Amino acid sequence: MKRLKEARVKYDNIPIPEELSERVMMEVEKAEMMRSKKLIKIKRNTYMKRVAAAAAAVAVLFTAGVNTSEAFAKGISDIPVLGALAEVVTFRSYETKTEDLEISVEIPSIEMISEDLKGLEKEVNEEIYSFCEQYAKEAEERAEEYKQAFLETGGTKEEWIDHHITIKVWYEIKAQTDQYLSLAVMGTENWSNAYSQTKYYNFDLKAGKWITLKDILGDQYAQIAEQSIRSQVTKREKEAGMEFWMDDWKGVDADTSFYMDSDGVPVIVLEQYEIAPGAAGQQEFRISEQEESLEPEDSYKADESSVEDSYEDNFEVPQEAITRFAGMVKEAVAEKDIEKLADLTGFPVYVGFEKEGLIVENREDFTALKTEQLFTDEMVRSIAGADASSLSPSMAGFTMYDKDGAPSITFGVRDGKLAISGINY
């Protein structure tokens, strides 16, 4: 597993040669001129005609490293129009086949109908073309290295041919609506999963820009997504008996892969080996505020039953249980859900408001507190920024906050179970 991860990192860090970048720019400029001419014709017609890239595709040739035998162009394939703003066409499609290697390549191109989106179109098509061309070229080089190693270690040519080495580059439209265009471009090699790669391209067609998880989920996108993923993992572990590696997971950030589904909901994609064994493949998580992986009233009970029922003290609690409970606290505070927070609280509990602290004796008194007083902006920010995976025990318990002096929530063992024991402002 370690070798596969190291190989993947090495591949991701391979720089794009300068001459390749210049070539991509030249070919995209040619395609741009052809598309501009066609857009003028579109405006003159009473109906929308499909935009084609055939003339530009004829001029495009892959590097010599890919063309080991005569390739034939299969032509341009149009995909259905996406709303009134864009369509996707196959910019270049060809196959190369020898007795021991088969390469299949389909490079998409996004055609923006609106003149206001031309800058976006040029930028993404440059990147897609570069990714496809580079992947195909380097995949063939890897296959040749693999072949040499196979023959040098005693394998025969006939045995090598029986491997049926196949390299494939293609694309898939994940969502096509009036609002969003979400496209996945993929490269695979049947002899090694370590080098398979998928890149996602997500656009807000009306705003004319790339979209990010922050655009969709807001400033707390990482915390919202991480909590949703952890909740869904808990459910999958129970239903499928699958083991997940959440302790080493680095969480969600601006570079986390995702695509939009047809409902306008982001689907986060975690790579093979990222949180589960390789046999589980990629793991996808739909991040929707309208959907709960566990029913609200059952979420705490389900998590609680999945770990040891009783602890002697704070130092006995396993890290998995600490992280899970902290995640539930994060969720309750992010949603400003006083009922959910009460489910996690042990009574009596100390609530140290800025002006006056008080001891809340029971759940009824706790839920009677003012929501705006309990969930201040400072408290929400502090708990959202707390690192749930690195909490360490003390006699008082486990304290969640993002920096010194910020509001905090402390939880610990009470009557053998984890419960909130203090809230401070």
Domain match, 254 and 180 both: no
Rounded to an integer, the average pLDDT of 31-46 is 42
Q: Contact at 8 Å (CB) between 143 and 167?
A: yes
Q: Report which listed range, 63-72, 107-116, 394-403, is most confident.
A: 394-403
Rounded to an integer, the average pLDDT of 385-399 is 86
Alpha-carbon distance values, 96 to 65, 130, 132, 137 (Å): 11, 19, 15, 12
Task: Tell whether 296 is covered by a domain.
Answer: no
* H or E stretch covering 221: helix 221-240
Task: Tell whether 231 is covered by a domain.
Answer: yes
Range with the poorest average pLDDT among 29-38, 132-141, 294-303, 326-335 = 294-303
Q: Give the tokens for residue 96.
A: 């190369």
Q: Contact at 8 Å (CB) between 108 and 53?
A: no
Domain boundary among 182, 211, 240: 211
Q: Contact at 8 Å (CB) between 237 and 305?
A: no
Rounded to an integer, what distance in angstroms lies between the CA atom of residue 330 and that of residue 341?
9
Rounded to an integer, the average pLDDT of 59-77 is 33
What is 160-201 written as a DSSP string?
Answer: HHTT-EEEEEEEEEEEE-SSEEEEEEEEEETT-GGG-EEEEE
Confidence bin at 13 (pLDDT 50/70/90): low
Domain match, 180 and 222 both: no
Domain match, 202 and 228 both: no
Rounded to an integer, what distance in angstroms lies between the CA atom of residue 209 and that of residue 327?
33
Rounded to an integer, what distance in angstroms lies between the CA atom of residue 168 and that of residue 244?
30
Which residues make Cβ contacts (< 8 Å) with residue 226, sequence separation at least 6? Answer: 251, 252, 327
Cα angle 323-324-327, degrees, rounded to a multiple of 5: 85
Domain match, 98 and 178 both: yes
The better pLDDT of the pair 65, 229 is held by 229
Residue 335: phi, psi to the nearest 5? -85, -5
Confidence bin at 192 (pLDDT 50/70/90): low
Rounded to an integer, the average pLDDT of 318-330 is 90
List the domain range (segments joined by +) for residue 173.
Answer: 2-211
pLDDT of 56 higher than 80? no
The better pLDDT of the pair 1, 343 is held by 343
Task: Tell whether 295 is covered by a domain.
Answer: no
Relative to beta strand 345-352, strand 408-414 is: unpaired
Residue 158: phi, psi to the nearest 5? -65, -40
What's the pLDDT score for residue 69? Answer: 33
The better pLDDT of the pair 65, 173 is held by 173
Counted domains in the chain: 3
Confidence bin at 110 (pLDDT 50/70/90): confident
Domain match, 326 and 260 both: no
Task: Tell whether 298 is covered by a domain.
Answer: no
Domain match, 24 and 136 both: yes
User: What is the DSSP secondary structure assignment for residue 113, as one 8-state letter?
Assistant: -
pLDDT of 331 higher than 60? yes
pLDDT of 390 higher than 70? yes
Report which of 292, 321, 294, 289 is spatially closest to residue 235, judged by C-alpha positions.
Answer: 294
Confidence bin at 304 (pLDDT 50/70/90): very low
What's the pLDDT score for residue 289? Answer: 58
Task: Tell whether 278 is covered by a domain.
Answer: yes
CATH of the domain at 253: 3.90.640.20
Task: Tell whether 112 is covered by a domain.
Answer: yes
pLDDT digits (tens, 9 = 90+) for 135-171: 999 989 988 998 899 899 998 988 888 888 899 999 9
What's the pLDDT score for residue 124? Answer: 83
B/e letters for 395-413, b = 16+ CB within 10 Å, e = fewer, are eebbbbbeeeebbbbbbbb
Domain match, 162 and 132 both: yes
What is 290-353 written as a DSSP string?
Answer: T--SS-HHHHHHHHHHTS-S--SSGGGS-HHHHHHHHHHHHHHHHTT-HHHHHHTEEEEEEEE-
Mean pLDDT, the chain, whole residue set: 76
* H or E stretch covering 97: strand 86-97
Say whether 7 sits in a helix, a strand or coil: helix
Domain match, 44 and 66 both: yes
**Does the reported pTM lie above 0.75?**
no
Domain boundary among 194, 211, 228: 211
Task: Tell whether 303 is covered by a domain.
Answer: no
Task: Tell whether 300 is covered by a domain.
Answer: no
Domain match, 267 and 177 both: no
pLDDT digits (tens, 9 = 90+) for 230-256: 989 988 888 777 788 888 898 999 999
Rounded to an integer, what distance in angstroms lies between the CA atom of residue 402 and that of residue 405?
9
What's the pLDDT score for residue 194? Answer: 61
Domain boundary among 231, 255, 286: 286
Tally helices (H) and strands (E) across the chain: 13, 15
CATH of the domain at 417: 3.10.450
What's the pLDDT score for residue 72? Answer: 32
Say whether 57 sits in a helix, a strand or coil: helix
Confidence bin at 287 (pLDDT 50/70/90): very high
Relative to beta strand 345-352, strand 283-286 is: unpaired
CATH of the domain at 47: 3.30.565.40
Domain match, 14 and 163 both: yes
Domain match, 91 and 197 both: yes
Domain match, 246 and 314 both: no
Which residues make Cβ contacts (< 8 Å) with residue 63, sequence separation at least 6? Answer: 20, 23, 133, 137
pLDDT of 43 higher than 70? no
